[in-house]
């Protein structure tokens, strides 16, 4: 009997908000998870391999990261690596991967999952994944996992559900009402206090046929770039042209915010999208009684340090930090970053990094 369940691991991001540990030559998803033994993408693969046959797991990534994918997931068949010529966010990635899987299996049901999430409680995660796959297989819908928010975080997207807490607390899928991507602090607090909003996990479930049909309806300008897919005799040129001509757009903006068939399954596991140093700090503190997020390979002396992220690479190095509050100290060996623990401050630095004289440090 054919298993129609497939997984696409989304691993094409550059991870700029995790600079300087995340670099263009080796972005975040290929780094060892914070104080863990394995990389983000390796943990993601192992989680999904418990729920989907390995031969049905695909990784979508940029061409230049093919060797890294093979290094971290050596058991993945080479033909299961979907190579993107350019990074154009998740909209084009979802379209391309769905076309591939629908051609392989017209009954394909897909879970698309980012490669860089931090997830606790494996048994609950597995239960939610399997239930969501079953629900997507039985219904012509677009389904996402919604995480019950624990703080007014401005780094996550939010999804409002019809009926508020009374609708999602029982744990059944509910109709989505609105999507909001990364609100400001004031609006995030309103969302949290209302009880009507869940964090958008970025983990999606759908039939390949359904998501493609809905994308043709909601974002025809994107799907028109792929209209020759069935008749093309030169897929390489078609993919190159489609990505070259595509705008940079997430699947949230391109599809989820426009579709009227979006549903949400309330997820019951501890989750964090480790998208920046700030979210990593919050995630580490949620799981411990510490006041700092620390990952130091060598010896250290830390005095009167609070609210800070300290990371130092190199077992032969002594890291000494004293009298620091709400800062980041990141030492990669080649780059030393010392700045307030503030994503906006880091963004200002990244803007300077775009200058030609700093290209070797990107």
Rounded to whole angstroms, the Cα distance separating 191 from 197 reads: 6
pLDDT at 237: 96
What band does 335 get if pLDDT is binned at 50, 70 and 90? very high
Q: What is the pLDDT of residues 135-194, one digit of tens each?
A: 999 999 999 999 888 888 888 889 998 887 888 777 789 999 988 888 888 999 999 999
pLDDT exceeds 90 at position 236: yes
Q: Which of the pair, 128 or 14, is modelled with greater confidence?
A: 128
Q: What are phi and psi of 122, to 5 degrees?
A: -60, -40
Rounded to whole angstroms, the Cα distance separating 279 from 12 reads: 20
Lowest mean pLDDT: which of 243-257, 276-290, 292-306? 276-290
What band does 79 get if pLDDT is binned at 50, 70 and 90? very high
pLDDT at 162: 83
pLDDT at 187: 93
What band does 315 get if pLDDT is binned at 50, 70 and 90? confident
Q: How many residues are recorded in the chain?
A: 362
Q: What is the pLDDT of residues 193-217, one digit of tens each?
A: 998 999 999 999 999 999 999 999 9
Q: Which strand (E) or helix (H) includes residue 300?
A: strand 299-306
pLDDT exceeds 80 at position 362: yes
pLDDT at 2: 59
* DSSP one-letter code for 252: I
Q: Does domain 5-276 have CATH number 3.90.550.10?
A: yes
Tokens of 106: 């017209």
Q: Give me the half-sphere count of Cα atoms (radius 13 Å) on the Cβ side of residue 206.
A: 32
pTM above 0.75, yes or no: yes
As a whole number, the mean pLDDT across the chain is 91
Q: Which strand (E) or helix (H) includes residue 216?
A: helix 208-218
pLDDT at 121: 77
For helices 40-49 and 122-138, what crossing angle results, to 10°?
A: 60
Is 6 within 8 Å of 101 (Cβ atoms)? yes
Is 279 within 8 Å of 272 (Cβ atoms)? yes
Share of the chain above pLDDT 70, in %: 98
pLDDT at 229: 95
Mean pLDDT of 330-335: 92
pLDDT at 350: 86
The CB density around residue 100, as the number of other CB atoms within 10 Å, is: 21
pLDDT at 214: 98
320-345 burial, b at 16+ Cβ within 10 Å, e below that, comes to ebeebeebbbbbbeeeebeeebebee
Mean pLDDT of 96-110: 97
pLDDT at 1: 40
Mean pLDDT of 351-358: 88
Mean pLDDT of 291-297: 88
Give the domain ranges of the chain: 5-276, 289-361
């Amino acid at each position: 009997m054919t298993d129609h369940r497939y997984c696409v691991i989304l691993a094409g991001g550059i991870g700029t908000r995790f600079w300087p540990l995340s670099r263009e030559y080796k972005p975040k998803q290929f780094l060892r998870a914070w104080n863990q033994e394995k990389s983000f993408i390796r943990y993601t693969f192992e989680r999904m391999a418990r729920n989907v046959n390995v031969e049905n797991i695909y990784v979508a990534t940029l061409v230049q990261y093919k060797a890294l994918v093979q290094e971290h997931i050596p058991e993945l068949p080479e033909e299961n690596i979907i190579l993107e010529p350019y990074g154009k966010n998740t909209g084009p990635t979802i379209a391309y991967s769905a076309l591939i899987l629908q051609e392989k299996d017209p009954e394909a049901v897909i879970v698309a999952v980012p490669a860089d999430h931090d997830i606790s409680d494996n048994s609950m995660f597995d239960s939610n994944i399997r239930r969501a796959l079953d629900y997507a297989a039985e219904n012509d819908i677009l389904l996402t996992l919604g995480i019950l928010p624990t703080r007014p975080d401005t780094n996550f997207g939010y999804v409002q559900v019809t009926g508020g807490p009374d609708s999602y607390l029982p744990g059944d899928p509910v109709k989505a009402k609105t999507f909001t991507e990364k609100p400001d602090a004031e609006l995030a607090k309103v969302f949290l206090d209302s009880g009507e909003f869940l964090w958008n996990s970025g983990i999606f479930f759908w039939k390949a046929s359904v998501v493609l049909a809905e994308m043709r309806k909601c974002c025809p300008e994107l799907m028109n770039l792929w209209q020759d897919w069935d008749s093309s005799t030169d897929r390489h040129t078609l993919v190159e042209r489609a990505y070259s001509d595509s705008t940079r757009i997430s699947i949230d903006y391109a599809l989820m915010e426009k579709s009227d068939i979006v549903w949400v399954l309330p997820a019951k596991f501890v989750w964090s999208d480790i998208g920046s140093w700030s979210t990593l700090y919050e995630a580490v503190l949620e799981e411990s009684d510490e006041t700092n997020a620390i990952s130091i390979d060598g010896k250290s002396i830390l005095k009167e340090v609070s609210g800070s992220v300290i990371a130092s690479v190199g077992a032969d190095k002594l890291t000494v930090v004293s009298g620091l509050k709400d800062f980041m100290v990141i030492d990669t060996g080649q780059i030393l970053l010392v700045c307030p623990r503030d994503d906006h401050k880091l963004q200002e630095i990244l803007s300077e990094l775009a200058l030609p004289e700093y290209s070797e440090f990107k």
